[in-house]
């Protein structure tokens, strides 16, 4: 009688581990910059939050009035001189990158609106939320440490 219970618990544990592995965001690299993108649905949001601390640039894209997240954003990251370092289409609603300490220019475009931000990235994570129906394109955005 003990064996069926053990088998059921083992099968459940394997199933949960498989689900967690599937939900984990896939890290990508471009020009030596590691990044993850995702957050569509509750499982992906949980997975993205689980790895958030590993990335020092944390961008979130949303519509302020509806509260809906956006996953149709083109993200471009440039160095302080404007040289392109990373480009990703269909990013969001969460986009996290590991950058060397320094100053970067961020461009995020969707729905005929482009946000341009300059951010200083250091050891502590820099989090920024861009709201398409609220923020001014020239506004530096909401940045939290």
Contacts of 61 by beta carbon, 8 Å cutoff, 6+ apart: 69, 70, 71, 73, 91, 92, 93, 94, 95, 108, 110, 129, 130, 132
For the stretch 103-120, pLDDT in tens is 999 999 998 889 999 999
Contacts of 17 by beta carbon, 8 Å cutoff, 6+ apart: none
For the stretch 13-48, pLDDT in tens is 444 444 445 467 999 999 999 999 999 999 999 999
- Mean pLDDT throughout 120-143? 73
Peptide linkage before 93 cis (omega within 30 of 0): yes
pTM: 0.77
Please report the domains of the chain, with CATH numbers, ordered by start residue: 25-144 (2.60.40.10)
Residue 93 has pLDDT above 60, yes or no: yes
């Amino acid at each position: 009688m003990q064996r069926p219970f053990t088998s059921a618990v083992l099968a459940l544990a394997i199933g949960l581990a498989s689900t967690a592995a599937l939900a984990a965001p896939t890290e990508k690299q471009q020009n030596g910059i590691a990044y993850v993108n995702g957050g569509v649905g509750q499982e992906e949001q949980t997975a993205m939050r689980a790895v958030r601390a590993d990335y020092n640039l944390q961008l979130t894209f949303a519509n302020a009035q509806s509260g809906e997240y956006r996953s149709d954003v083109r993200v471009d990251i440039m160095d302080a001189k404007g040289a392109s370092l990373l480009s990703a289409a269909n990013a969001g609603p969460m986009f996290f990158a590991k950058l060397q300490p320094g100053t970067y220019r961020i461009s995020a475009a969707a729905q005929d609106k482009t946000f341009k931000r300059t951010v200083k990235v250091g050891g502590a994570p820099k989090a920024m939320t861009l709201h398409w129906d609220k923020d001014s394109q020239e506004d530096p955005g909401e940045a939290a440490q």
